[in-house]
Amino acid sequence: MAAGAAHMLSVEDPRTSLRSRGQTGIRIGAQGINKVIQHPQITAGSEVKDQKGALRSEIAFKLTSNRDQERMVAGDITYSEQIQTANEIKLDSGSTADSMEMERFTMWQRFAGLGTPNIQDSVEFAKRVPGFLEFAQDDQLILIKLGFFEVWLIHVSRSILAEEYVSRGAVTFAGGAYVTREQLEFVFDIDFTSSMFNFFSSFNGLSLNDTEIGLFCAVALLSNAFSERTTLFDARTVEQCQARLVEALKLQVIRNHPSDQQLFSQIIAKLPELRQLGNRHADHLQWFRTRWERLSHLQPSFAEIFDIPLTQA
């Protein structure tokens, strides 16, 4: 590589890059997340150059994985058209505490099923963060497991249905299904759900482009190197990688939003908010985890990433 070239970090969204190259996506399940990370076909796409001492980064982070949603982002179909095809997941009321608890289990498993495809996307995205595959194997697994929910929150924030279309709002998934705010309050609790929707609203208010969102996702993923929930084998290497990504994000924001001098600080301030949401989600998972024998329809990849035992068929 020629000296003096522009310094470039490149991370492609796997949902588009794998398909465009004709490669077969790798599924998590029987292989396990560890097997997926070790697959030899996938490597972190990074190109390093230097121009005027500036670190510049382009991360393609498209927010959709199926064809209809890709058309929506491209402007071929409208937001309202997506809503018309959305299929609400109904929640029946129960009359006893036991039946309500069973409905909570059922609703959570359906919610988990809708989010499971995002696990593969997050794994592939992580593998394209420059330097990620150089981390210790166990550190890669820890970062993906701890960071999945936080990266998912960022990912889904731009597909929230507004209150004018669904009472009090809803979270949408690929294929048009959505889960209402009331249903999330039933599965988790009112306060946690309110905090999630507050994050969605405030994050969308930052008006970031896809490159900035991709960089922020990478930064958020690596921020779990400093989580009180675990200890990494080589936290220093992860910290150095995250510092480069933070600098890349900063330069992107300065270049794209020169008149907003507070925007970068506002973006970074979202990290502790995400961490808190991740910790609270982990607390909720513990409730389900201790009742794992009642979970009968949980997909293996979801159970694996959140360390939930599976009932034997």
- 171: three-class secondary structure by DSSP: strand
Using pLDDT thresholds of 50, 70 and 90, give the confidence band for residue 304. confident
User: Is the separation of the CB atoms in 71 and 22 below 8 Å?
Assistant: no
**Better-scored residue on pLDDT, 88 or 104:** 104
Using pLDDT thresholds of 50, 70 and 90, give the confidence band for residue 87. low
Q: Which of 13-22, 27-36, 96-105, 261-270 has the lowest mean pLDDT?
A: 13-22
Q: What is the pLDDT of residue 175?
A: 73
Instruction: Please tell me the distance from the alpha carbon of residue 96 to that of residue 49, in angstroms, as a whole number.
Output: 64
Does 10 have pLDDT greater than 50?
Answer: no
Q: What is the pLDDT of residue 105?
A: 80
CA 144 to each of CA 1, 132, 301: distance values in angstroms, whole numbers, following the listed order: 31, 10, 12
Q: What is the pLDDT of residue 215?
A: 95
Does 96 have pLDDT greater than 70?
Answer: no
Q: Which two tokens stand for residue 151?
A: 């990266």
Instruction: Output the average pLDDT for the chain.
Output: 72
Instruction: Please tell me the distance from the alpha carbon of residue 306 to that of residue 112, in angstroms, as a whole number.
Output: 11
Q: What is the pLDDT of residue 280?
A: 94
Does 39 have pLDDT greater than 90?
Answer: no
Percentage of residues in the chain having pLDDT higher than 90: 40
The sign of the torsion formed by the CA atoms of 203, 208, 209, 215 equals: negative
Amino acid at 112: A
**Better-scored residue on pLDDT, 71 or 160:** 160
CA 265 to each of CA 56, 270, 283: distance values in angstroms, whole numbers, following the listed order: 18, 9, 28
Does 52 have pLDDT greater than 90?
Answer: no
Does 223 have pLDDT greater than 80?
Answer: yes
**Better-scored residue on pLDDT, 293 or 45:** 293
Using pLDDT thresholds of 50, 70 and 90, give the confidence band for residue 164. low
Strand 177-180 to 87-88 pairing: parallel
Percentage of residues in the chain having pLDDT higher than 70: 65
7-305 classified as CATH 3.30.420.40: no
User: Is the separation of the CB atoms in 81 and 157 below 8 Å?
Assistant: no
The sign of the torsion formed by the CA atoms of 34, 35, 36, 38 equals: positive
Does 22 have pLDDT greater than 60?
Answer: no
The CA-CA-CA angle for residues 176, 168, 88, to 5°, reads 30
Q: Could you tell me the residue ranges of all domains in the chain?
A: 7-305
For residues 6-42, one letter each, b for 16 or more C-beta atoms within 10 angstroms of the residue's C-beta and e for the rest, the string is ebbbebbbbbebbeeeeeeebebbeeebeebbeeeeb
Mean pLDDT of 139-164: 89
Residues 6+ apart with CB under 8 A from 250: 264
- Report the length, in residues, of the chain: 313
Does 233 have pLDDT greater than 80?
Answer: yes
Amino acid at 26: I
Instruction: Please tell me the distance from the alpha carbon of residue 173 to that of residue 66, in angstroms, as a whole number.
Output: 10
Q: Put residue 4 in one of left, alpha, beta given phi > 0 → left and psi -120 to 50 → alpha.
A: left
Q: What is the pLDDT of residue 29?
A: 35
Q: What is the pLDDT of residue 118?
A: 87
Does 128 have pLDDT greater than 80?
Answer: yes
Using pLDDT thresholds of 50, 70 and 90, give the confidence band for residue 12. very low
pTM as predicted: 0.72
**Better-scored residue on pLDDT, 43 or 199:** 199
Q: Which two tokens stand for residue 230?
A: 């675990």
Q: What is the pLDDT of residue 213?
A: 95
Q: What is the pLDDT of residue 28?
A: 33
